[in-house]
Structure 1
């Protein structure tokens, strides 16, 4: 098949899949009883009306429907984005201390009131995307206020970088982790990646010099501390003085960072950083090939100390693989990268997309049996897969 045919086929598939993903969220996740969106749907598509509602889920719904509206102009996407914005503003935003609640009870009352910087970054990311399509000044003002809160409390002005989490009133907190699988460290790759992503998206609608300087500094910090320029994998966890706590290789994060950090550098039009991150993007794409199985699927993680593969293929690394490899192909014109996306798309169609009930399952084990986790939930959101489709539509 010629390159132009491959491109067209992938683009057509991505358009159809984007419609399918968002159709699932429209039909299954609107919470008519309590407002906003339901907090959890299990692998059998059973809604838990009493589950907590996560800030990350709601911010990602806001981003996904805003971004999809910009591409498809479906009025249902716009009304859903408005719903997500209003719910975040009314319920997740802490009007007393100016942060974002980590989670709410099903009825919208605060549950976990800590300020997890990762979640605040995603709210900025979603608000910025919403402003692009709707020009809502409240959304811009809220995004700006959250930016200033992160800069005031989370930024480490002595050692650089950003600290993970705080109490509701911005005091130090003992448990800094995003989830139980994470190391309890003060600085993480994951949070830095999503702060700079959020800041870059905010910069597209608010080209503020302080914001630009912050983006530049984060990209420089990531290049120094988080990118291993021997293995071309990411280092994940550090203390506040940049002492590393060695952990797994996360293939999904490697390939997500590959294209996303390059995009952040391009957003602020820093010539030197763009050049560096374009080089990094290709190196990351090459190193990610280590994690690709013969069926085209991307493995979840690898433990170097134990020399042990975590033999699961989760939904989100597959989505990020599409963008990272298409980006590497755009930079190099090496067709191998395009072919990797094509083969992985086929893997996703065969094993990850739920053809009967819609959306993507959490993933599969090595024997292709399904991982029986949420279809929608605290971490299972429409952002990775809808974004992958949107990026393919734009890039192809």
Structure 2
């Protein structure tokens, strides 16, 4: 981790604000609303707390909730018992109904009656399962979690890793063979590789390396970081991450995702720090990663940041094309710019991190019903009736906003 910030009154206050939001809002909301009395994930919880159990349940939500409550239980020792109970409910689902006992890995989605709705092996989902299971193992020492995380790592290395061209494939069939439609969601392209999936494999392997110290994870992460800097990051006309690729890393669109870019800025650096702690001595890669983190933070600040401190949704190299303000880019903005400030000490990064949190408190947090609104218009008004208009759902989870709070807490003394 970059140098912990000390002696900064505004950032010390930010730490207190983030902790209060985590402890008094995000974690209690998920503790109360995520699961029914039988321990089954709710299909969706709308902004007004209406429950819609007709929707499928996704393994990614179980994995992200597992990760969130494992880290929260670690860092909030006084609440460990209650937080661990929510993590255990998530673990039970991930290694229970979501786990493919015959072919290995986690299913993409289940129906409301717990039957399989989508049996494909989306690599994105396997990565988040590794992420959550490794963190749970660190917290509890549960051997089943470690074994499952290692099984998933082995499956990805054996079936999803492109050993000739680098990176990881987007999705495979239930039996780990080719799949015609690999798209992660209705918004995404069906392509062999994507930035989003590879970023979250990198994130998962970073945690798995820290927890296990295994040289096989170190080798895989080392290569993936280098591949990401070589093929996903581009520097013209400004630093950003290409999003969708063919098998040879030829970009398929010119879309710029400001939220993914600021998230990548700190996850790339986090991966490097895990590698360095594990004994990798690669000065060139270190400098390339440091430069990438700062250039991405610069670019999002210059091209994707609105005057009110919020991160807008999407653009192209020519400018913003979608000025909506979704919940998760704001959370990633806080961490990304705080990370850049820790690396280089630039006042503009500190200001951007503080500004992003001000916007979150002013517009994103739902003071009436709890948690965060998913999607806002550019003026900060809530997008009512939008597809993602939920507090809990397939893509609305405690991972981005809880993680932002936890990262702020650990980075500021």
On whether the aligned pair clears a TM of 0.5, the verdict is yes
Q: Distance in 2 between matches of 1:131 and 1:118?
A: 20
Q: Determine the structure 1 residue equivalent to 2:400.
A: 384
Q: Determine the structure 1 residue equivalent to 2:3.
A: none
Q: Determine the structure 2 residue equivalent to 1:120.
A: 126
Residues 179-208 of structure 1 show CA distances to partners (whole Å, capped at 9, x for unaligned) of: 111121101010110001101111112111
Instruction: Report 1:168-207 matches (<5 A).
Output: 168-207=174-213
1:282 equivalenced with 2:294 (yes/no): yes
Structure 1 residue runs of 5 or longer lacking an equivalent are: none
Residues 144-203 of structure 1 show CA distances to partners (whole Å, capped at 9, x for unaligned) of: 000000011111122221111111111211111111111211010101100011011111
On the 8 A contact 1:233/1:287 being kept in 2, the answer is yes
RMSD between aligned alpha carbons? 1.4
Q: Distance in 1 between matches of 2:257 and 2:195?
A: 11
1:374 equivalenced with 2:380 (yes/no): no
Q: Distance in 2 between matches of 1:106 and 1:220?
A: 41
Q: Distance in 2 between matches of 1:8 and 1:266?
A: 24
1:28 equivalenced with 2:33 (yes/no): yes
Q: Distance in 2 between matches of 1:23 and 1:308?
A: 36
Q: Distance in 2 between matches of 1:97 and 1:145?
A: 11
Specify the SS of the correspondent of 1:138.
helix
TM-score (norm 1): 0.96
Instruction: Report 1:201-350 matches (<5 A).
Output: 201-230=207-236, 231-269=238-276, 270=280, 271-272=282-283, 273-289=285-301, 290-304=303-317, 307-350=319-362
Offset, 1:308: 4.5
Q: Distance in 2 between matches of 1:247 and 1:177?
A: 17
Q: Determine the structure 1 residue equivalent to 2:64.
A: 60
On the 8 A contact 1:237/1:247 being kept in 2, the answer is no
On the 8 A contact 2:304/2:320 being kept in 1, the answer is no
On the 8 A contact 1:227/1:233 being kept in 2, the answer is yes
1:50 equivalenced with 2:54 (yes/no): yes
Q: Which of 69, 87, 111 is the equivalent residue of 2:117?
A: 111
On the 8 A contact 2:47/2:369 being kept in 1, the answer is no
Offset, 1:38: 1.1
Residues 60-105 of structure 1 show CA distances to partners (whole Å, capped at 9, x for unaligned) of: 0000000111111212111111111111111111000002100011
Offset, 1:368: 2.5
Specify the SS of the correspondent of 1:111.
strand
Q: Distance in 2 between matches of 1:327 and 1:387?
A: 13
Structure 2 residue runs of 5 or longer lacking an equivalent are: 1-5
Residues 255-290 of structure 1 show CA distances to partners (whole Å, capped at 9, x for unaligned) of: 100011111111011342333212211111110112
Q: How many residues align?
A: 393
On the 8 A contact 1:303/1:310 being kept in 2, the answer is no
Q: Distance in 1 between matches of 2:320 and 2:401?
A: 27
Q: Distance in 1 between matches of 2:21 and 2:363?
A: 14
On the 8 A contact 1:66/1:77 being kept in 2, the answer is yes
Q: Distance in 1 between matches of 2:289 and 2:317?
A: 25
Regions of 4+ moved over 6 Å: none
On the 8 A contact 2:43/2:393 being kept in 1, the answer is yes
Offset, 1:22: 0.7
On the 8 A contact 1:313/1:363 being kept in 2, the answer is yes
Specify the SS of the correspondent of 2:306.
coil
